[in-house]
Chain A
Amino acid sequence: MRKLHTFHGGIHPAEHKLESSAQPSLRAPLPQRLVLPLKQHIGSAAKALVQAGDKVLKGQLLAAAEGMLSAAIHAPTSGTVAAIDFHAVAHPSGLPELCIVLQPDGEDRWLEHAGFDYRALPRDELLNRLRDAGIVGLGGATFPTHVKLNNAQHIQTLILNGAECEPWITTDDRLMCERAAEIVQGIEILRYLAQPADTLIGIEDNKPQAIAAMQQACAGSGIEVVVIPTLYPSGGEKQLIKILTGKEVPSGGRPLNIGVVCSNVATAFAIHRMVNHGEPLISRLITVTGNVKSPRNIEALIGTPIAELVQLAGGALEDANGYIVGGPMMGLEVTNAQLPVVKGSNCIIVKSDKLFPAPPPALPCIRCTRCVQVCPAELQPQDLYWFARAKNLGKAQSYNLFDCIECGACSYVCPSNIPLVQYYRFAKSEIWANERDKEAANLARERHEFHLLRIEREKQDKADKLAQKEKAALAAKAAAATQAQPIPSQPAQSQPAPDPATVSATDAVAIDALRAQVREIAHPEAKHTKE
C-alpha cells in the first residue's frame, strides 16, 4: 500500500455523482450546427485555414496551432464551413470570440486517417503530431499537451488524474468505467514520452467501479492505481501531486520542477485515439446533469450547442433557470443554451433555484478563519479579501494572491456568504492590467527616448559632414593657392561605401544595447520583478 499524504484544508460538499454516474454514456447524434471557437485552450488562438463555403471532411484540420503555446482545431464532422465569425462562447468575460461555424452534411465522412507506431517516431515528431491533433488537457485547464511534455523526459513520477473531485461531474468516472483499456494505452504513450520511474493513477474512493476497471486494465503494466480519500479539491493538480508524492509544486513553478508530470485520464484517452487510430481531438465525454430528466454522460462533438445535449439528457425540468458549464465549485453560469461545448467542457449542470439557491446577501467578514482552515493553498483568504476590496494590490500580491487556485473552498464555508473568489479574480486581473499598462508605457517611453537620440545623432552626423566638406574645400583652396600638384582627393572615399545591410544589422545591435541601457536606467526594479 502506497503511503498517502494530505494537503491542508479541503471540504466535503454534497457529491451528487450518483445522478449521472450510473447511466452508461450515450453518443450524441449529429447536431444541426457546430460552433468551434479558435481559442479553446490556454495560449494563443489557432489560425483558421479554411474559408466560408469550404467543404471539409471529418477530422480535417480547420485551424492550425499558432505560436509556441497553441493547439489545432479540427472538423468534428464533414460539412460546409458556414462562416468564420464572432460568436458567444462560455467565457467569464462574456465577450464573443472568433469561431468557425460548421454546417454538417449528415454524411459524417472521415478524412483518410490511420494510427501509427509511435515508437518508430522521433520524440519531437510525436509531440508535433500531438500539437497538430489539437490535444489539450481535458481536466479543465486545457493546457496544450505537447508543451507540457516538451521538457518532460526521464521524470520521477507520471500522475494520471482520475480524482474528479468536483461535485456532479462524472465524465472521468464513466470514461474509466467504459474505456479503461484504451486509457491505459494512452498512458503507455505518455510513459514512452516522459519515461517516468513511477506511473500512478489517483482516483477518489467514491468511484469504486472506475477503480476496479482501471485496476484490471493496469494489471501487469507497472501502472499503479492509487485510491485516495474523497476530499475537494484533491483533483487539483498541486493537491493530487501532494497526496501521491508528498511533494509540493513550488510557488509559481510547474510540476516538472519537482520531477512530476500530471495529466488527466481523459487526455490519455484522447492521446490514444490520436496515436492508435489517427483521430484528432473532435469529441469528448460530457456530464449533463442537474435539473434534467435523465442525467447522464454524453459523448459529444466539440462545438455542439448546450441545448442539444440537454435534450439528450431528457430535457430540462420545468423550474430550470440557466446552466453551469463546468462544476458547481469552479464552473461558469450561462443562460444562452446555444453556446457550444469546447474541449475543456466536462460538465453541463442545468440549474434550478431548488438545486442551487441564490446565496443570502453578503455580510461583513468577521475573521472567523473558516476559510483559512479549508484553503488548500494555505493562504489567508480573509486578508486577501480585505486587500482586494481595498484595491491594495501590492499587499494582496505579497500575501501570495497568485498561489490561489480559485477552488472556491473559502466561499463555500464563508458564514458571511462573501463571494471571495470573485474578489481574488478581480485583484488578479487588475494586477495583470496594471502590468500590461506599465509595459506599454515603458515601451512608449523607450521609443520616445530613442527617437530623440536619433534626431540628436542625425544632427551630429550632418554637422560632422559639413565640417569635413569645409575642411576639404579649405584644403583644396590651399593646394590651389600653392599651385602645386593637386593632391588626389581621398577623404570620405577612402572607405568603401558601407553595405546597407550590415549597417542596419549593426544599428539593430546598437539599438538593442541602447534599449537595454535605457531600460536599466529607467527601471532598475524591472529586472527584479521579472525574475
Chain B
Amino acid sequence: MFPPFTTQASSVREIMFKVLLALLPGIALYVWYFGPAILVSITLASLTALATEAVMLKLRRRPLAPFLSDNSALLTAWLLALSIPPLAPWWLVVVGTMFAISVAKHLYGGLGSNPFNPAMVGYAVLIISFPAYMTHWLAPQGLGQLELNFMQQLGYIFGGHFPAGVTVDAVSMATPLDTLKTQLHSAHSMGDILQMPVYGNLGGKGSEMVALGFVIGGIYLLANRIISWHLPLTFLAALFATAGAFYLFDPAHYAPPLFHWFSGAAMLAAFFILTDPVTSPTTIRGKFIFAAGAGFLTYIIRVFGGFPDGVAFATLLMNMCVPLIDAYTQPKVFGKKGEQ
C-alpha cells in the first residue's frame, strides 16, 4: 500500500449516481407535463449505453465490472435522452447513444479521456443526420391538436406507425425556441408571439417547469459539492447578459433574457452538461472563460444559427478550447505569488 493509507469514502460511481439523482426532479416534471414517453427513451438509451460500453470495454480489453458500474455511461444516456424528442423511432436514440459511447467516449480512450461531451456529440450527430425527427417535439399536455395515449406512443416509437388518420404534425409541435424563430420571420412582434398558448410565464409552457426541475437538481449538486458554482452561474450570467443586451437594443425582435434561461436546454446545460468535469477546464479562471463562451455562443447559435437550440454546439465548440484555456490560465502556486 502507498500513503496515504486513509482516504475519504467517495467514488466516481457515487458522484455519477448523485448526478443521476439530481436529474430526477426534471424528469418527473417532464413526465407530468409531456407524458411518460420520455421514460421510454431514457430506458432505451440506458440499455444501449450499457451494452455499447460493455462491447467497447471488451474490445479495448478493459475490465468490465469497475467501468460498467461507474454510472458514467448511464449519465451520458440520460442526458442524451433528455436532449432529443421522446416521440421518435426507437433507433434514433439508439444510434445517438451508440455513437456517443463508442466514438465520442471510447475511441478517445474511455472514461476521463474524451475531449467532447459524449451526450452532446450524440445529439450533434442526430441533428445533422436526422433533422426531421429531431424537430418533432411532444406538445405539452392540453396543447396538441391530438393526444396519443401511451400505448399509441409506444406503437409509433417501436412500430413506426400512428393510429389511422393521425400524422406526426398533428401530435407534435416545434419547440418554443423554434416557434419564436419562425414567428419572428413572419414579422410578428415579440409581444404577440409570447402570448401564444405554447408559451408559459418564462419560457415554453411545460418546458419551463422542466427547466425549473433541473435547477432544483442543480442546487442539490451544488449543496453536495458535486459541482462548483463557477460553471453554471457564469454560463447563465453570460447567456443573460448577451440576451439582455440584444433585448435592450430591440425588445420587439429579441426575446427577454429570462426566456432564454428557461427555454431549450439552458438549465440542463448549466447544471449537467457544461459541468461534466472531463470536458471542462480545471482552473477557476478557465471555468469562467469556458462557461462565458458557452453562454455567449448558445445565444448566438439560437438566434442567428439554423439549429433549434445552441447548447450542444456551443458546448462542443468550447470543449475544443479546453486544453488551450487550461494551459493559459494556470494559477500561481504557493510561494510564487510575487513572481511576474
Name the contact of A421 in the complex, choosing from B3, B113, B334, B337 (C-beta under 8 A): B3
Tell me the minimal C-beta distance from B44 to chain A in angstroms.
Answer: 26
Chain B residues in 8 Å Cβ range of A253: 335
Write the nearest CB–CB distance from A375 to chain B, whole angstroms. 9
Expressed in whole angstroms, the minimum distance between the Cβ of B280 and any Cβ of chain A is 8
- Specify which of B2, B277, B337, B339 is in contact with A369 (CB 8 Å cutoff): B277
Say yes or no: B3 contacts A250, CB within 8 Å: no
CB atoms of B2 and A364 under 8 A apart: no
A421 to B6 alpha-carbon distance, docked (Å): 13
Closest-CB distance, A171 to chain B (whole angstroms): 18
Residues of chain B lying within 8 A (CB to CB) of residue A351:
5
| Alpha-carbon distance A360/B193, docked complex (angstroms) | 56
Interface core residue of B11, B111, B332, B335 (most chain A CB under 10 Å): B335
B5 near A413 with CB under 8 A, answer: no
CB under 8 Å from chain A, chain B span 318-340: 326, 330-339
Q: Which of A330, A332, A333, A366 contacts B111 (CB 8 A)?
A: A366
A387 within 8 A of B: no
Which B residues are in CB contact (< 8 Å) with A329? 3-6
Task: Name the one of B3, B8, B111, B282 contacting A383, with C-beta atoms under 8 angstroms.
Answer: B282
In this assembly, does A471 line the interface, its C-beta being within 8 Å of a C-beta of chain B?
A: no
In the complex, what's the smallest C-beta–C-beta distance from A406 to chain B, in angstroms? 8
Query: With the chains together, A419 CA to B337 CA distance in Å?
Result: 28
Q: Which of A11, A332, A376, A382 contacts B282 (CB 8 A)?
A: A382
CA distance A408 to B334 in the complex (A): 16
A360: chain B residues at CB < 8 Å are 11, 66
Task: Find chain B residues with CB under 8 A from A382 CB.
Answer: 282
Contact string against A for B residues 3-22, beta-carbon threshold 8 Å, 1 for contact and 0 otherwise: 11111101110110000000
**A363 on the B face (CB < 8 A):** yes
Tell yes or no: A248 within 8 A of B by CB. yes
Question: Complex: how many Å from CA A346 to CA B192?
Answer: 77
Q: Which residues of B contact A269 (CB under 8 A)?
A: none
Taking CB as reference atom, which chain A residue is nearest B338? A250
Contact with B along A328-360 (1 / 0, CB 8 A): 111111000000000000000001000010111
Given A380-B282, A421-B2, A363 and B12 contact (CB-CB distance below 8 Å): yes
Q: Which residues of B contact A358 (CB under 8 A)?
A: 1
A487 to B68, CA, bound (A): 105
Asked whether, in the complex, the Cβ of B8 is within 8 Å of the Cβ of A408, the reply is no
- B242 CB within 8 Å of chain A: no
Contact yes or no, B12 A332, CB < 8 A: no
Per a CB cutoff under 8 Å, which of B70, B72, B282, B333 touches A378? Answer: B333
Q: How large is the interface on A (under 10, 10 to 19, 20 to 34, 35 or more residues)?
A: 35 or more
Q: Classify chain B: how many residues form its interface, as a range.
A: 35 or more
- The answer to whether A415 touches B14 (Cβ under 8 A) is yes
* Alpha-carbon gap, A333 to B269, bound state (A): 45
Give the distance in Å from the alpha carbon of A351 to the alpha carbon of B6 in the complex: 11
* Known contacts A251-B335, A367-B278; A415/B10 CB under 8 A: yes
List residues of chain A with CB within 8 A of the CB of B332: 378
Q: CB-nearest residue of chain B relative to A414?
A: B7
Q: Could you list some 15 contacts between A and B, CB below 8 A? A: A167-B6, A238-B334, A242-B334, A250-B335, A324-B5, A328-B6, A329-B6, A364-B111, A364-B112, A366-B12, A368-B277, A377-B333, A399-B330, A413-B8, A416-B112
Can you list the 9 inter-chain pairs with the closest CB atoms, starting with the nearest? Answer: A364-B112, A408-B4, A251-B335, A368-B277, A419-B2, A329-B4, A328-B5, A356-B5, A377-B334
Given A250-B335, A251-B334, A367-B112, 12 additional A-B pairs, CB 8 A: A13-B8, A328-B6, A332-B3, A364-B110, A364-B113, A379-B333, A382-B282, A411-B4, A416-B12, A417-B7, A421-B4, A422-B2
Residues of A within 8 A of B (CB): 7-8, 11, 13-14, 167, 238, 242, 248-253, 324, 326, 328-333, 351, 356, 358-361, 363-370, 372, 376-380, 382-383, 399-400, 403, 408, 411-417, 419, 421-422
